Amino acid sequence: MKTYNYSELSSTEIQKLVQRNVDPANEIRTIVEDVIANVQQHGDSALFDYALKFDKVELNKLYLDKAELEEIAKAISADQKAALETAYSNIYKFHQTQLKTEDKVETMPGVTCWRELRPIEKVGLYIPGGSAVLPSTFLMLGIPARIAGCHEIVVCSPPQKNGKVNAFIAYVALMLGIDKIYLAGGSQAVAAMAYGTASIPKVDKIFGPGNQFVTKAKTIIQSTTTTAIDMPAGPSEVLVIADETAIPAYIAADLLAQAEHGIDSQAVLVCTSADIAQKAIAEVEKQLPVLPRAEIAKLAIDNSYVVITSSLSEAMAFSNQYAPEHLILATHSWEQITGSIINAGSVFLGNLTPESAGDYASGTNHTLPTSSYARAYSGVSVDSFVKKITFQHISREGIQNIGPTVEVLAELEGLHAHRNAVSVRMSPPTP
């Protein structure tokens, strides 16, 4: 891992260092635009072709029904079911608290305003299934969708070589009461949910992480269709802030846990101790070879780096510029610096809180903004699956109280019909 000294970096160099997953020549955009256009024009036919091209499987239909999912799920052991059920329970508990009824507010006598939640009717969940199958992502998206009360949940996941999905994905579908999974992956799945095909329904909003092609497809369809997206959640990343109280073996394990996601993942160590940083790098080299996904993790580590700072405050300043998806504070002093966190997707506090816990079972959501989008986006929550509609009611007293203010403001903007809509109500009603 290449090492930089924070004090020697210019602001321009820091900006360049924190950039990731860019597409300067628009190569990814060009490919994705072609895929989207093909799916829009040819629908299911294009999806069958892409399954053969990218997933190396010839499908005879684009979905698995409930009976097929039940059969596939039989392969799961009792221990695996118990683990998925514990994760389900914790994620449900955390997200259920987010569904709240807001109080009505009387902004002035006779003028009452409030908000009410309504679920998004049709949502699409994209569950990655490339080099790693992620039933945890299915839980993270499906549970808040169910809590929110979404009327239709469309699920797309790439087919495996046998033309089916992983047994864990099937079991989670049954846990969530979802009786159909569509066999489509990549940017073509995003396009299918955005435009609709003969098999796959069009949805109102698409959720789920993916590679750069999936992320690019989401950003394109958001600007060209009526379908919204949760956020641009691309290749995963972690930034670890560590000091002399950190444990090198833990740091290395956290960096590698992120690196094994994919070759375009990134794991950054920002350390106030050069000695701890060196020991952590040595631990990475020690732990890496024994990983089953060592080849993938190594390529991601090659794309990662270390920054040495003189203090935790400097480390936090760099972190806020990086705006990480996952932020780990590997220090006994984490309580002193959490107030300085401005940009981060999800934060893991202390030496005994690995990012893996949040990825699977602590309860927080792991679908998070990447590539510095944590500057403006939050992670997925129940809020992501609902609309908050404002209501207001004005009484006879209220129209007399608020009317003069509205009349003046409408007049100064030159909108006389706006003024009149208030004025006619302030006069006694005509018999």
Contact 149, 142 (CB under 8 A): no
Cα–Cα distance for residue pair 378/355, rounded to 1 Å: 17
Strands 111-119 and 105-108: antiparallel
Structure tokens given for 220: 């394109």
The letter for the amino acid at 229 is: I
Task: Give the Cα-Cα-Cα angle 153, 155, 156 (nearest 5 degrees).
Answer: 155
Cα–Cα distance for residue pair 307/5, rounded to 1 Å: 6
Torsion of CA 375, 377, 379, 380, to 10 degrees: 180
Q: What is the DSSP letter of 345?
A: S
Cα–Cα distance for residue pair 117/391, rounded to 1 Å: 11
Q: For the chain, how big is the Rg over CA atoms in Å?
A: 25
Cα–Cα distance for residue pair 21/322, rounded to 1 Å: 13
Q: Looking at 95, 261, 326, 366, which residue is catalytic?
A: 326
The letter for the amino acid at 370 is: T
Q: What is the DSSP letter of 201?
A: P
Cα–Cα distance for residue pair 9/190, rounded to 1 Å: 39
The letter for the amino acid at 259 is: A
Strand order in the sheet with 180-183: 63-65, 180-183, 152-157, 122-126, 205-207, 228-229
Nearest to 234 by CA among 221, 215, 253, 216: 215
Catalytic annotation on 237?
A: no
Residue 368 vs residues 262, 304, 372: alpha-carbon distances, Å:
16, 19, 11
Q: Looking at 237, 260, 283, 325, which residue is catalytic?
A: 325
Question: In terms of residues, how long is the chain?
Answer: 431
Cα–Cα distance for residue pair 357/93, rounded to 1 Å: 15
Cα–Cα distance for residue pair 312/330, rounded to 1 Å: 11
Catalytic annotation on 106?
A: no
Q: What are phi and psi of 166, to 5 degrees?
A: -60, 150
Catalytic positions are 325-326
